[in-house]
């Protein structure tokens, strides 16, 4: 059971999340940025990530002329609150997590619901490399060479019916292996982490399930063994360590819109024109760069995805 503090504790006695977050922002603004961390010897030592098994990749799609963010940054600077709130926590704390064996439950509005082993989930799909720009709502961005396959190809196999309008995703709950899930009073987030996509977004050819980065199986901190990647949306839509994929009728709840609905909507499309109460969305800092660069509409993927949102007020449906 998740126990939250009663609402009548005076706010002076508890540290609101915004204060924790602000403290980290201040550190970052003081120059303790990811690039600074990664350049430092202490950081190098703690960021050393065990390499995964080599994956066989059959094709490659590069969607940006920018070079990929170095492996040590992609694996050393992460958000994965199940392993803690700070960017270096996932790399440091995810060692005890065991992504194998793994199974995924497919349920809801489809002809073939069931619980499948990861091997069964992956068997019919050939793996592709997809080099995507990624943009976190906090203002940093990366270029990541993912290895995966289109989510739409997987969804088809389970034969969704006409009621399947959205896909809901659920992450694993394993407090024994995930130190961030053991925190109480208050819990870091309500577990499990959940996300969702509209059916057309889920089946868009750019939307992939990833099993690797840099030609190797995913490190734990990046969402082993299976995570979502939707490059025109903010990073938090890319739910990690997925255990359930549900075909649903109604727009599902998502972790961050439940936490702070004014800041995080269901769509969460990268949009420099929609302001966020804490982080600027108009520019971003590519990890490894010194200067910020403008953030592009739909993270630069407008040509491929804008038509899905024709006629929608994207300030209202943020
Ligand atoms: N289960 C789970 N998935 C998650 C998160 C999380 O805390 N828990 N963080 C999200 C956020 S905020 C970001 S920016 C991306 C980061 O993915 P990366 O570490 O592979 O760059 O994962 C997303 N997926
Ligand atoms: Mo994020």
pLDDT digits (tens, 9 = 90+) for 253-298: 999 999 999 999 999 999 999 999 999 999 999 999 999 999 999 9
Q: Indicate whether 20 pLDDT > 60.
A: no
Q: Beta strands of the chain (E only): which ranges?
A: 57-62, 103-108, 114-117, 127-135, 140-150, 166-171, 194-198, 208-213, 216-217, 227-229, 242-248, 283-286, 293-294
Coil, strand, or helix at residue 240?
A: coil
Q: How far is CA 125 from the centre of its chain?
A: 22
pTM of this structure:
0.88
**Considering the chain, what percentage of its residues have pLDDT values greater than 90?**
84
* CA 246 – CA 236 distance, rounded (Å): 19
Centroid of ligand 2 to alpha carbon of 8 (angstroms): 31
Centroid of ligand 1 to alpha carbon of 236 (angstroms): 5
* CA 120 – CA 106 distance, rounded (Å): 12
pLDDT, greater one: 141 or 28 = 141
pLDDT for position 49:
73
* CA 99 – CA 102 distance, rounded (Å): 6
pLDDT for position 50:
79
CA-based nearest residue to 196, from 270, 260, 246, 258: 246
Max CA separation in the chain (angstroms): 58
- Cis before 54 (ω within 30): no
Centroid of ligand 2 to alpha carbon of 251 (angstroms): 21
* CA 279 – CA 141 distance, rounded (Å): 13
How far lies 36's CA from each of 41, 75, 162, 180, in Å? 10, 15, 51, 25
Give residues whose Cβ lies within 5 Å of ion ligand 2.
79, 136, 235-236
Residues with Cβ within 8 Å of residue 280, at least 6 apart in sequence: 139
Residues with Cβ within 8 Å of residue 189, at least 6 apart in sequence: 81, 255, 259
Instruction: Considering every ligand atom shown, identify the ligand nearest to the alpha carbon of residue 78 and give its number.
Output: 1
E strand or H helix that includes residue 53? none
Look up residue 74 and give its two tokens. Answer: 């992609």
pLDDT for position 48:
64
Q: Which atom of ligand 1 is nearest to the CA of 78?
A: 19
Centroid of ligand 2 to alpha carbon of 137 (angstroms): 5
């Amino acid at each position: 059971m998740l126990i939250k503090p009663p609402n009548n504790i005076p706010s002076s006695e508890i540290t609101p999340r915004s204060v924790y977050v602000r403290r980290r922002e201040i550190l970052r603004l003081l120059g303790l940025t990811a690039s600074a961390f990664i350049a430092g010897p202490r950081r190098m030592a703690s960021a050393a990530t065990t390499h995964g098994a080599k994956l066989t990749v059959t094709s490659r799609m590069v969607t940006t002329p920018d070079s990929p963010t170095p492996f040590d940054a992609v694996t050393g600077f992460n958000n994965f609150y199940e392993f803690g709130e700070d960017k270096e926590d996932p790399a440091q704390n995810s060692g005890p997590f065991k992504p194998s064996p793994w199974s995924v439950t497919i349920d809801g509005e489809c002809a073939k619901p069931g619980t499948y082993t990861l091997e069964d989930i992956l068997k019919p799909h050939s793996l592709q490399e997809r080099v995507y720009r990624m943009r976190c709502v906090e203002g940093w961005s990366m270029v990541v060479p993912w290895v995966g396959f289109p989510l739409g190809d997987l969804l088809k196999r389970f034969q969704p019916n006409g009621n399947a309008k959205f896909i809901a995703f659920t992450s694993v709950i394993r407090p024994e292996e995930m130190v961030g899930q053991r925190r109480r009073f208050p819990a870091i987030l309500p577990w499990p982490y959940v996300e969702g996509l509209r059916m057309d977004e889920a089946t868009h050819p750019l939307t992939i399930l990833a099993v690797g980065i840099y030609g190797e199986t995913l490190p734990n901190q990046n969402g082993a063994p299976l995570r979502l990647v939707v490059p025109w949306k903010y990073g938090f839509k890319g739910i990690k360590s997925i255990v359930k994929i549900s075909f649903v009728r109604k727009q599902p709840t998502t972790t961050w819109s439940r936490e702070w609905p004014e800041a995080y909507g269901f769509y969460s499309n990268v949009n420099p024109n929609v302001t966020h109460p804490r982080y600027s969305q108009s520019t971003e800092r590519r990890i490894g760069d010194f200067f910020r660069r403008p953030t592009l509409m739909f993270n630069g993927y407008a040509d491929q995805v804008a038509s899905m949102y024709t006629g929608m007020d994207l300030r209202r449906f943020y």
